[in-house]
A = this chain, B = another copy of it.
Amino acid sequence: MSSALLTDMYELTMLRAALAGGTAHRRAVFEVFARRLPAGRRYGVVAGTDRVLSAIETFRFGEPELEFLERVVDPPTLSFLADFRFSGDVYGYREGETYYPGSPIMVVEGTFAEAVVLETVVLSILNHDCAIASAASRMTQAAQGRPLIEMGSRRTHERAAVAAARAAYLCGFATTSNLQAGLEYGIPTAGTSAHAFTLLHDSEEAAFRAQIDALGASTTLLIDTYSVEEAVRTAVKLAGGDLGAVRIDSGDLGVVAIEVRRQLDSLGADRTRIVVTGDLDEHAIAALAAAPVDGYGVGTKLVTGSGAPTANLVYKLVDREDSTGTMKPVAKTSVGKPSKGGRKWAYRSLSDGIAAEEIVSTRPDDSLGRPLLAPLVRGGEIVGREPLDAARARHQESMRELPQIAHSLSPGDPAVPSIFS
């Protein structure tokens, strides 16, 4: 499937004018960054890079795209697009890394023509995936090692759901309920039953029996369709101490979990786990830290970025050739939209292994700290792919590198200050 029309029309209009005016082939550098983090967030998490590489690979204008574009651009532009193949370089933060205001999380170098047309698809992917990853990371930190199940597919666009499952897994979620994410990304999937299954049967007992017969006693029974207390009694009667888990989806989860734990223990089901679900976010998860909960299912708040559904990343021209062939840093001076011209390099300085500064420099200098930009595309060839599990491991490492304040859920400043040098 072509990604070429996941594009704002103005990119092609600019391309057309630049081709006509002779500036289209000037060398140019675009940078992806966030002017600020969502209100009160301490850090952002990079995700989507690998999906961007796929989109660059499929950014080709075929028959249906070109036929449609006959109405949008002129013949010279159309013929440029027919042969389009990105031939430039891309550098970027690796997935799972944290980022801060001004971090150049992706740098696209090429001709103006080939770099400008990638703006929308690059931003769409990164804005979505970084927003979800940033929320997911706070949730896994709040869960303090208890497993999280991603189950938000129904509350977001059907394809965004697949990308959300990927971003959540990258940031430490244990499993997803989304089967397409299992197929596409190899993410472990989980899911047992909904209220509909209980309601389908003439009694809750009949429903539980059917589920246990089919899936074994280690299954997870949903216990809040009618009376929670009766459901627990029925569940243990049928499955005994081997019952895998029960799921609570309503009520005051902390209070209900304590009651259910007590009842399970008193019935001899002390190994049966308790999973809670129902509009959980990082704050609700943190509030349940002392409750007898063995796992969380998170839906709506994850896939909507827990209050920040987009990362608000922008794609800005920062450097380009002038009419004499010399590269010149550029930046607009629009009110309230600070931009800094020039191609950037980024480093994280550490003190005793803890991140101290995010250094954004207009010159490469590895002595400034751990380099953050890795080559992703070289001369049009994708060179930066990596397995999702590598990104997941990196995110874990990158959490260990953060100062303690980064894990505070209360609103505050970015945990690592951005220094421009």
Contact = CB atoms under 8 A, between A and B. Distances in A.
Interface of A: 1, 3, 5-14, 16-21, 23, 26, 28, 30, 55, 64-65, 68-69, 72, 74, 112, 116, 119-121, 123-125, 127-128, 151, 153-163, 177-180, 182-183, 189-202, 206, 209-211, 213-215, 224-227, 249-251, 300, 303-305, 309-310, 312, 315-317, 320, 322-323, 330-337
Central interface residue in A72, A194, A198, by most chain B CB within 10 Å: A194
B154 A157 contact: no
A199 B21 contact: no
Contact of A8 (B178, B200, B322): B178
Contact of A336 (B12, B151, B251): B251
28 contacts: A5-B179, A5-B183, A6-B162, A7-B178, A8-B178, A13-B215, A14-B193, A17-B215, A18-B197, A20-B210, A21-B213, A65-B183, A119-B196, A124-B154, A127-B154, A128-B158, A128-B160, A156-B160, A157-B157, A159-B160, A195-B334, A198-B332, A199-B330, A202-B322, A202-B323, A224-B332, A224-B334, A227-B333
Contact of A309 (B12, B14, B309, B315): B309
A202 B225 CA distance: 68
Most buried by B among A20, A160, A202, A213: A160
Most chain B Cβ neighbours within 10 Å, of A162, A197, A333: A197
Number of copies: 2
Contacts of A13: 191-193, 215
Contacts of A21: 201, 206, 209-210, 213-214
Contacts of A316: 195-196
A272 B269 CA distance: 76
B9 A177 contact: yes
Contacts of A155: 123-124, 127, 310, 312
A324 B153 CA distance: 35
A334 B250 contact: yes
A179 B64 contact: no
Contacts of A336: 250-251
Nearest to A23: B200
Given A5-B180, A8-B154, A72-B179, A17 B124 contact: no
Nearest to A321: B200
